[in-house]
């Protein structure tokens, strides 16, 4: 089996498990990621159906105690009422799904329709959250649901037949509209997923049985296991999250991701420019190699200017940083550039960029922070100064490894009048560590066969891992504020 196929199976399995039970649409993500990797067609569709079983087994394993209890105490009135509620909630989507399944598969499974559903769903999430705020909630617990609640949540689930809406999102929002707590609505969504997804998956697999081959067993197994493990982790983490937070972060994620999908897949002149930018970012290795071939040593100047702009211009935080350093290191290992010269130049660009950004912030700060400004006043400026007196050094150094934040941190340090000697110390130290880490990682690992054949995915992975600390810190801060 081709190693690239194993990588695709693992990635799609992780995407399925990570997105199935949160309100962002697993189907939408699988369609978009599959299109991006060139993994499409009947075989791909069958694979994506099969790995859903892995995800649903993950949630069944998490609730195995409750499932076994329901089976052993089927005579109990509470258990019978809960099973009846699940059946009533399952029924609307099951009936409508049988009627419109072929139409949906033929006409709605595409990145543009998914993007539209993601954006609209994100807006509706924000609207429902605003309506939900301050409402008097019903008593906590799955046993408090009425048959009317179950049926209406089932009706809400029918909207998820449209790819990109999200089954979890539709059912959870349906529960919120009925006055359920976030935890109760989420848990009922998980239980409702069991009959709904098992039935839908088995139906689709039977319909696609002619495509299945014995040789696909290992390939399908990789995706299945990845979906099971990642779903199990997400279910536990998501329950902890909803107990303390709103769903707004998922709403904004849907809107942002939907817009990116539209930019990438929509035709047109304006969108074409955005598509080119995304394409350059994802296939950075190909464009940089072409530039190196055509212009030779001028590539050093190009890399210097990009790193300088990404760190030195507060208006240019979306330029590639980590991924560019990694790709440059890989090209140096292939003999295209001298790695020592490359490292020295890029360290200089990074240090000079942060220094310019600091000086701009120091010049701008006193001019924009005035007593008359509601948001940019002296009170906020003093708070910024106190923060940088206490945490400025580690902020400047660690920000190097976080996109966008590394562009903003030196500017804010200048605004907060962080002592320049202290700033330059951490600026140089952080710059050296950042450049050497990513360039040498690309130099030693960028030309390995597994990495080289999937470099676009590696670039996306670097971006995702770089953004992760910032996302975690935002969620942690929100948790502390809520607590």
Identify the CA nearest to 326 among candidates 220, 461, 177, 141.
461
Statement: the pTM of the whole predicted model exceeds 0.75: no
The domain locations on the chain are: 3-265, 282-482
- What local confidence, expressed as pLDDT, does residue 468 receive? 58
Identify the CA nearest to 192 among candidates 64, 59, 369, 78.
59
| pLDDT tens digit sequence for 273-282 | 555 556 665 5
| pLDDT tens digit sequence for 42-96 | 777 778 878 888 888 888 898 888 888 888 877 788 888 888 988 999 898 888 8
Question: Rounded distance, CA 2 to CA 397, Å?
Answer: 41
Contact 352, 344 (CB under 8 A): no
Helix axes 182-207, 77-107, angle to 10 degrees: 50
Contact 367, 324 (CB under 8 A): no
Tokens 């790709």 identify what position? 327
Identify the CA nearest to 323 among candidates 128, 463, 481, 190.
463
pLDDT-derived band of residue 348, with 50, 70 and 90 as boundaries? very high
| pLDDT tens digit sequence for 13-46 | 888 888 888 888 887 788 778 877 777 777 777 7
- What local confidence, expressed as pLDDT, does residue 466 receive? 54
| pLDDT tens digit sequence for 410-419 | 887 777 777 8
Tokens of 93: 């989507």
| pLDDT tens digit sequence for 402-457 | 777 777 778 877 777 778 888 888 889 888 988 998 889 888 887 777 666 665 56
Tokens 């649901």 identify what position? 145
Question: Rounded distance, CA 188 to CA 66, Å?
Answer: 12
Question: Rounded distance, CA 149 to CA 407, Å?
Answer: 49
Report which DSSP code applies to 266: -
> Mean pLDDT for the chain?
78
What is the CB-side half-sphere exposure of residue 296 using CA atoms within 13 A? 1
């Amino acid at each position: 089996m081709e190693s690239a196929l194993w990588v695709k199976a693992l990635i799609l399995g992780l995407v399925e498990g990570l997105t199935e039970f949160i309100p962002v649409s697993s189907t939408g993500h699988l369609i978009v990621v599959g299109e991006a990797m060139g993994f499409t067609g009947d075989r791909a569709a069958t694979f994506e159906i099969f790995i859903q079983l892995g995800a649903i087994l993950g949630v069944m394993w998490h609730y195995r105690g409750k499932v076994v209890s329901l089976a052993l105490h089927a005579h109990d009135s509470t258990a019978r009422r809960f099973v009846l509620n699940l059946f009533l909630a399952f029924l609307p989507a099951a009936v409508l799904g049988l009627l419109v399944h072929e139409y949906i598969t033929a006409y709605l499974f595409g990145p543009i329709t998914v993007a539209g559903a993601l954006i609209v769903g994100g807006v509706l999430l924000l609207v429902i959250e605003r309506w939900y705020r301050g409402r008097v909630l019903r008593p906590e617990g799955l046993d408090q649901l009425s048959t009317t609640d179950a049926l209406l949540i089932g009706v809400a689930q029918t909207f998820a037949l449209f790819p990109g809406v999200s089954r979890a999102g539709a059912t959870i929002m349906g529960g919120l509209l009925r006055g359920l707590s976030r935890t109760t609505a989420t848990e009922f969504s998980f239980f409702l997923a069991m009959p709904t997804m098992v039935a839908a998956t088995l139906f689709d697999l039977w319909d696609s049985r002619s495509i299945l081959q014995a040789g696909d067993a290992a390939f399908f197994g990789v995706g299945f296991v990845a979906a099971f493990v990642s779903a199990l982790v997400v279910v536990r983490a998501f329950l902890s999250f909803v107990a303390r937070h709103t769903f707004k972060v998922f709403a904004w994620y849907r809107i942002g991701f939907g817009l990116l999908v539209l930019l990438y897949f929509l035709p047109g002149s304006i969108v074409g420019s955005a598509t080119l930018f995304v394409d350059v970012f994802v296939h950075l290795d190909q464009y940089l190699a072409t530039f190196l071939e055509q212009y030779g040593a001028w590539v050093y100047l190009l890399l210097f200017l990009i790193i300088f702009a990404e760190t030195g211009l507060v208006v240019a935080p979306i330029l590639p940083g980590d991924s560019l350093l990694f790709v440059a290191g890989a090209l140096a290992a292939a003999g295209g550039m001298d790695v020592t010269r490359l490292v020295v130049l890029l360290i200089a660009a990074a240090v000079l960029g942060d220094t310019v950004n600091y000086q701009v912030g120091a010049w701008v700060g006193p001019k924009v922070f005035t007593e008359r400004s509601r948001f940019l006043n002296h009170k906020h400026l003093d708070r910024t100064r106190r923060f940088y007196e206490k945490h400025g050094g580690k902020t400047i150094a660690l920000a190097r490894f976080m996109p966008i934040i590394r562009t903003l941190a030196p500017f804010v340090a200048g605004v907060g009048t962080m002592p320049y000697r202290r700033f330059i110390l951490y600026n140089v130290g952080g710059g050296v560590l950042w450049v050497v880490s990513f360039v040498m990682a690309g130099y030693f690992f960028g030309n390995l066969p597994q990495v080289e054949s999937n470099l676009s995915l590696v670039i996306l992975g670097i971006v995702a891992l770089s953004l992760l600390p910032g996302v975690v810190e935002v969620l942690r801060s929100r948790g502390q504020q809520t607590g």
